[in-house]
Amino acid sequence: MRSVEWFFEQGPIRPPSEAASLLLRFTRNCPWNKCTFCPVYKGTSFSRRSLDEIKKDIDTVVRIIEDVKSISWSVGEGGRVTPYVLQEIAKRRKANHAYYHVAQWLLFNTGQVFIQDANSLIMSTDELAEAIRYLRSRIPEVRRVTSYGRSSTIARKSLEELITLKEAGLDRIHIGMESGSDKVLKYVKKGATARQHIEAGQKVKAAGITLSEYVMPGLGGKAWSEEHALETARVLTEINPDFIRLRTLQIPPFGPLWEDAKAGRFVPLTDDETVREIRLMIESMGNIQSTLTSDHIRNLLEEVEGKFPEDREKMLAVIDEYLALPPEDRLLFRLGRRGGALRSVREIKNPVTRFRLEQARKELERELKLDIESIIGELAAQHI
């Protein structure tokens, strides 16, 4: 077959927790696209894909799955997808990225599918439900279906509509809540209110769909840091989502928030101030059963994760351990963490690790004449 027959459309991003998921594009780009902190869809236009287009893409995935399995049988792997099968695919054909994406998905064997792009819930409930039903009927390997969704969109749907989507096979929704403060939400042009966040989140939970809420520490800057922490804790307490995922603010260059920072209208928090803000949010969370995760390199303290209420003190202890470090050790930890060399606060107490980071700092500052804070900032910016 010609390579073009293996093609199906995919969008630019997915959550880190969907790294092993099959990516299928149901809508293109973001229908809101005004958030001042988000660079992903700037310069693009939102468009809807027809149900027929979506089904054709699913059919293409089915053909790829059949082809991959036929290669597996031909090399004696019995239809199983193994690293050896992927090597054989590379030898036999010059397939495109989409083909290899499906082959790797079969290798991972997670059964997870992530629907792209930024807000698939904007589709009519009937069309989205039909597309999900078709996906599950055509690809029996599918075990979980997940999508992004905006609170303002979900709040407009009825509980019955969300139940319809659940029954069709939508298992999980990721919502970019970012903040529970209406002041912060308005300032960054999120296009949603705290009330909409609560309404949408509670509906998703009531429908029996797993809910991940994304929170952005630092988004309030110095002016609204305390309010951002306290109001976010309040809204999350009312929602009680299954997952709370931390995504520390990193300001994309040349975007609206970047311009605000340059002009002094927005003053970003330091790493230490952001850590204290996260502490206040965790401490202020009410009686919830959510799992907090720190599953992104943008977060300074990867170990701040656990389940409420039983792990609250453990999470606070990790933060306090970092804040109790001498200033020099906090600096070296930040350098190591932003450079990808450290994952745990305890690692900075290892004499060998500390010595290596001290040597790296000396080389950067004395020999290359670079400012260490600027270097740490540049390393962090790589993960926008």
The pLDDT tens digits for 259-271 are 999 999 999 999 9
Alpha helices in 145-293 (DSSP H): 151-156, 159-168, 182-187, 194-206, 225-239, 256-262, 271-284
pLDDT in the model for residue 92:
76
Answer for the pair 166, 191: CB distance below 8 angstroms, yes or no.
no
pLDDT in the model for residue 202:
98
pLDDT in the model for residue 95:
66
pLDDT in the model for residue 367:
67
Answer for the pair 330, 304: CB distance below 8 angstroms, yes or no.
no
Bond preceding residue 320 cis, omega within 30 of 0: no
First to last CA, the chain: 38
CATH ID of 149-324, from 3.40.50.1820, 3.30.750.200, 3.40.605.10, 3.90.930.12: 3.30.750.200
> What type of residue sits at position 124?
S
Which contiguous run of DSSP H or E holds residue 306?
Answer: strand 306-307
Q: Which residues contact 235 (CB under 8 A, 6 or more apart)?
A: 177, 180, 194, 197, 198
CA separation (Å) from 78 to 63, 74, 208? 18, 8, 38
Which tokens belong to 361? Answer: 């700092």
This prediction has a pTM of 0.93
10-residue averages of pLDDT along the chain (384 residues) = 73 93 98 95 94 98 95 95 92 79 96 97 98 98 98 98 98 98 98 98 98 98 98 98 97 90 96 98 97 93 97 98 96 92 93 92 77 83 73
Q: Which residues contact 270 (CB under 8 A, 6 or more apart)?
A: none
pLDDT in the model for residue 375:
84
Is residue 178 classed as helix, strand or coil in its secondary structure? strand
Q: What is the largest CA-CA distance in the chain?
A: 65
pLDDT in the model for residue 1:
41
CA separation (Å) from 24 to 102, 121, 323? 10, 14, 42
Residue 60's closest CA among 111, 95, 17? 95
Distance CA 106, CA 179 (A): 37
